[in-house]
Amino acid sequence: MHTSRNSLDLAGTYEGVLPCADCPGIKIRLTLANDGTFEKQSRYLDRDVVPRTERGLFTWQADGNSISLAAGGGQNFAVGKGFLIQLNSDGTHPDAATPNRVLMLVAPAQANTGAGLKQILEDHRWALEAATDGKDQRIEALFHTAGRPFTFTFSESRLFVQGGCNSFRGNYQVNAQGQLDTGRMAGTMMACEPVLMKADAALTKLLAQPLRIELKAGAQPQLRLLTAANEILVLNGQVTPEALYGPGTIMFLEVDAQRVTCKNPWSSETQCLQVRERKFDEQGLRVGPPGEWQAFYGNIAGYQHTPGERNVIRVKRFQRNPVPADAPPAVYVLDLVVETATVLK
């Protein structure tokens, strides 16, 4: 079926003035990216000097002709060639008598090459989903990793790979042929079970050669890396908190061994983590007394609490702006488990 989704290039920046019930209008600048993220700047013409900025994900509707913003009041837009139309709250098109609801394309997105591709790579964390050799057979060695898939993180021209026994890092570039070139990567020197060591060896062998890049953009983008021998790595992308919220703040939390009874204001949960802040100097030594114990409302992405186990963890804290009414004001993401201890009852 011919739809906007399969026939139009949506990515780019759109601008316009949308109607407002109690003001002359709201100036909107909406940027939609190939990776399924958006940034919306809104300025009330009669009261705002600085625009309000919202970031999040957008999704295509089942009809393939309209999109929904996951934040910003859940606004829906019909997609046309070079324009967006703000839909009614029930998803229907406005009638002819409705004031202008059109945002026009003012800047198409960069192509998935050069700086545009680099930005997409660095805005996501990539997990290995599939791998095949030149005969289209699954590369079994890459999946004997104790349930931990290999993950790729691109940051400021550096590539970090984790998931097997050791972690690897090195510089990367996208060369003139559209290939990912990592050169020689350095790794940690741990010894693990043979299956994990074999997984490391299989992956580093593939990464030692230039890999042709094929990118399928979208809210959940897919990255395919191909060798000259037609070996293929398939990775699924998950947008990073930095891409959604901007730079995070590093902090240390001590997580108690047992949850506590609480009344979470943003959900129906009645059991919460109990945490207190810890501080460390540049040498990794504790400084000052710990903070007060308090119930932690929400989740720490990437952290799994084990009852009876106390942890000190390093997290990244991201401030939501604006703060939604139905969610905590900040997002926490696990960066490192610093200490682990079993607490006897």
pLDDT over threshold 70, residue 181: yes
Question: Strand, coil or helix: what is 182?
Answer: coil
pLDDT over threshold 70, residue 71: no
Mean pLDDT of 19-35: 86
Whether the CB-CB separation of 16 and 26 falls below 8 Å is answered with no
Looking at the fold, whether 123 and 224 belong to one and the same domain comes out as: yes
Looking at the fold, whether 152 and 221 belong to one and the same domain comes out as: yes
CATH number, residue 100: 2.40.128.640
DSSP of 257-281: SS-EE---TTSS--EEEEEEEE-B-
d(CA 85, CA 19): 12
Looking at the fold, whether 119 and 101 belong to one and the same domain comes out as: no
Residue 146 pLDDT grade (very low, low, confident, very high; cuts 50, 70, 90) = low
Domain C-terminal end among 62, 87, 108: 108
Number of domains in the chain: 3
Domain C-terminal end among 242, 272, 299: 242
What percent of the chain has pLDDT above 70?
94
Burial bucket for residue 137 (CB in 10 Å: 0-12, 13-18, 19+): exposed
Looking at the fold, whether 40 and 86 belong to one and the same domain comes out as: yes
Beta-carbon contacts of 76 under 8 Å, excluding residues fewer than 6 positions away, are 61, 66, 67, 68, 69, 86, 87, 91
What tens digit of pLDDT does each residue of 244-297 get? 888 899 999 999 999 999 988 888 889 999 999 999 988 888 899 999 999 999
Looking at the fold, whether 229 and 265 belong to one and the same domain comes out as: no
d(CA 251, CA 313): 8
Looking at the fold, whether 124 and 225 belong to one and the same domain comes out as: yes
pLDDT of residue 151: 93
Q: Among 8-12, 151-155, 225-229, 338-342, which is the least confidently predicted range?
A: 8-12
Mean pLDDT, all residues of the chain: 86
pLDDT over threshold 60, residue 344: yes
At residue 291's C-alpha, the angle toward residues 287 and 293, to 5°, is 140
Residue 176 CB coordination number (10 Å): 8
Beta-carbon contacts of 272 under 8 Å, excluding residues fewer than 6 positions away, are 259, 260, 261, 262, 264, 295, 296, 297
Beta-carbon contacts of 14 under 8 Å, excluding residues fewer than 6 positions away, are 28, 29, 30, 31, 32, 83, 84, 103, 104, 105, 106
Domain C-terminal end among 216, 242, 268: 242
pLDDT of residue 176: 75
What tens digit of pLDDT does each residue of 199-215 get? 999 999 999 999 988 88
Q: What is the pTM of this model?
A: 0.61
pLDDT of residue 73: 55
Distance (Å) of CA 103 to CA 16, 36, 85, 107, 163: 5, 18, 6, 12, 44
Looking at the fold, whether 290 and 309 belong to one and the same domain comes out as: yes
Looking at the fold, whether 203 and 139 belong to one and the same domain comes out as: yes
80 against 51, higher pLDDT: 80
- Please give the residue range of the domain that contains residue 287: 247-342
Looking at the fold, whether 61 and 133 belong to one and the same domain comes out as: no
CATH number, residue 179: 2.40.128.270
Mean pLDDT of 118-143: 90
Q: How many CA atoms lie within 13 A of 11 on its CB side?
A: 15
Q: What are phi and psi of 331, to 5 degrees?
A: -115, 135
The identity of residue 259, as a single letter, is: R
Structure tokens at 208: 């030692």
Helix runs in 189-311, H state only? 194-207, 241-245
Nearest alpha-carbon partner for 126 in 215, 19, 247, 198: 215
Looking at the fold, whether 229 and 119 belong to one and the same domain comes out as: yes
Looking at the fold, whether 11 and 63 belong to one and the same domain comes out as: yes
Beta pairing partners, 252 = 278, 314
290 against 108, higher pLDDT: 290
Looking at the fold, whether 142 and 220 belong to one and the same domain comes out as: yes
